[in-house]
Amino acid sequence: MPATAVLGVQWGDEGKGRVTDFFSENADYVVRYQGGNNAGHTIIVGEQRLALSLIPSGVMYPQVTPVIASGMVVDPKVLLAEIDMLTAKGIDTARLKISSNAHLIMPYHRKLDAVMERFLGRSQIGTTKKGIGPAYTDKFARQGIRVQDLFDPKIFREKLEIALEDKNKILSRVYNQLPIEAAPIAEEYLAYAERLLPLVTDTSLLLWQAIRDGKEVIFEGAQGTLLDIDHGTYPFVTSSSPTVGGVLTGVGIGPKDIHRVVGIAKAYISRVGTGPFPTELRDEIGDRMVEIGGEFGTVTGRRRRCGWLDLVALRYAVRVNGLTDLFLTKLDVLSHFDTLKVAVGYTSLGERYDEFPRQQRVLYNCTPVYEELPGWSTDISHIRAYGELPAEARNYIEYIEEAVQVPIRWISVGPERQQLVERP
């Protein structure tokens, strides 16, 4: 049975946690393929609220094997703390599998992330400061240290020495920081090895076999299409590939093994950190979206910038991911607005754009061309059947579908697992 990818199509925080949890009910494997603990995925089931950063969002289901694939960057301290947090809540993590090829986030990656941002001043990206960018930089520079290196202390120490020689020059000479010592890092990291060893395996082989055996496999994206290193709003992006291509490289499977690509879109849009955002609302309406939608970062607690749904960006995401279906989240938040706007095009520097602009200068100067749609101004959070949604809400959904030519098969109307409308 080929697998399903579920991924964010905006600037992250679309509701990937809750959507992945929904798809996990019948799944055998749920796999994170990129990113690290820059992600914050929330799941709410009754009184239980989980915020996951590294462990896939299928972990609440006892039949699910959660997998951390090769394309991820893993901070082992954070991972072990997350395992402990889940265990304390009575959630079993014994089935967790970690790729031996995943890269480790090291203390100097976190340090560099922080000082590089400080150095950029007003031009900073607004990263999560978890060391994501520097860890991926080392991976591509072939100076990374991988999960498998933890189990070979001699190699680990050697690689650490080499990495630190380089990092300490940068830290001290460029950023005026004290150098970092190898010994305490080696001691700390090698101590993690014992707990991690039983979880580490060849996840590419594991998942290839699972798909051949007819198992149900879900790939869970982190971040979103507009934060993609190649296809996002560079340089205000993350350092990995949340788009569907990232599944193939991050897991090590072929394209034929993915039969469904579900895009997750919030019914409006948000962004944390800096960078262009054409439909951003820097007014009282934006403030109300933040307040009603509870738009504060799961990882950093930062206020998210909010704005109207952008159909230009959504059509772009449909294209670069080859989306087969859409899952629209947080529709309930729009119940509080009389009139809704959606961006159907942009004008920038005297020209009209119907496709997502490639030039950053064009993108920065975009003014959205809006279409106005009537709101429904009534609580929809209790509704579970499509036909029971107010006509204006159905009109909003069907308008988006028509504009992007992809069916919206699921709509969430509240953060709880059950607050969901499935289209027939």
Which tokens go with 153? 């202390």
Largest CA distance in the chain: 66
Cα–Cα distance list, 324 to 91, 210, 214, 346 (Å)? 32, 22, 21, 25
**Shortest distance in whole angstroms from residue 338 CB to ligand GDP:** 19
Strand partners, 8: 264
Among 16, 146, 271, 305, binds ligand GDP (CB under 6 A): 16
> What SS3 class is residue 91?
coil
Residue 263 corresponds to which tokens in the numbers above?
A: 């895009």
Residue 413 lies near ligand GDP (rule: CB under 6 A) = yes
Residue 224 to residue 243: CA distance in whole angstroms? 7
Measured from the CB atom, is 240 or 298 closer to Mg ion? 298
- DSSP H or E segment with residue 343: strand 339-348
Q: Rounded distance, CA 258 to CA 4, Å? A: 6
Over 197-245, what HEC string results?
HHHEECHHHHHHHHHHCCCCEEEECCCCHHHCCCCCCCCCCCCCCCCHH
Query: Which residues within the stretch 278-307 sit at the binding site for Mg ion (CB under 5 A)?
Result: 298
* Type of residue numbered 57: S
Contact between 40 and Mg ion (CB under 5 A)?
yes
Which one, 266 or 315, has the nearer CB to ligand GDP? 266
288-309 b/e with 16+ CB inside 10 Å = b? ebbebbebebbbbeeebbbbbb
What residues are paired with 418 via a beta bridge? Answer: none
Report the residue closest to ligand IMO, judged by CB: 273
Nearest approach, Cβ of residue 140 and ligand GDP (Å): 25
Nearer to ligand IMO, 129 or 146 (CB): 129
Q: In whole angstroms, what is the distance from residue 287 CA to residue 181 CA?
A: 45
12 binds ligand IMO (CB under 6 A): yes
A 10 A CB-CB count for 247 gives 28
Residue 56, interface with ligand GDP (CB under 6 A)? Answer: no
From the list 28, 41, 113, 257, the catalytic residue is: 41
Task: Say whether 13 is catalytic.
Answer: yes
DSSP letter assigned to residue 115: H
The reply to whether 14 sits near Mg ion by the rule CB under 5 A is no
Q: Which is nearer to ligand IMO, 97 or 271 (CB)?
A: 271
330 touches, from Mg ion, ligand IMO, ligand GDP, none (C-beta below 5 to 8 Å by class) = ligand GDP
User: What is the nearest approach in angstroms of ligand IMO to the Cβ of residue 134?
Assistant: 9
SS3 content of the chain, % helix, strand, coil (to 5): 40, 20, 40
65 binds ligand GDP (CB under 6 A): no
Burial of 365 (0-12, 13-18, 19+ CB in 10 A): middle
Q: Residue 26 Cβ, how far from ligand GDP at the closest point, in Å?
A: 20
**Choice from 250, 273, 278, 286 touching ligand IMO (CB under 6 A):** 273
For ligand IMO, the binding residues in 108-167 under the rule CB under 6 A are: 125-128, 130, 132-133
The answer to whether 101 and 70 have CB atoms below 8 angstroms apart is yes
The answer to whether 322 contacts ligand IMO (rule: CB under 6 A) is: no
267 binds, among Mg ion, ligand IMO, ligand GDP, none (CB under 5 to 8 A by kind): none
Q: Which residues in 232-261 contact ligand IMO (CB under 6 A)?
A: 238-239
Contacting ligand GDP within 323-382 (CB under 6 A)? 329-330, 332-333
**Binding partner selected for residue 329 from Mg ion, ligand IMO, ligand GDP, none, CB under the kind-specific 5 to 8 Å limit:** ligand GDP
Q: Does 222 bind ligand IMO (CB under 6 A)?
A: yes
Minimum Å distance from CB 41 to Mg ion? Answer: 6
CB of 272 to Mg ion, least distance (A): 8
- Give catalytic residues, as residue numbers: 13, 41
Residues that bind ligand GDP (CB under 6 A): 8, 12-18, 40-42, 44, 294, 298, 329-330, 332-333, 412-415, 419
Residues that bind ligand IMO (CB under 6 A): 8, 11-13, 16, 38-41, 125-128, 130, 132-133, 222-224, 227, 238-239, 272-273, 298
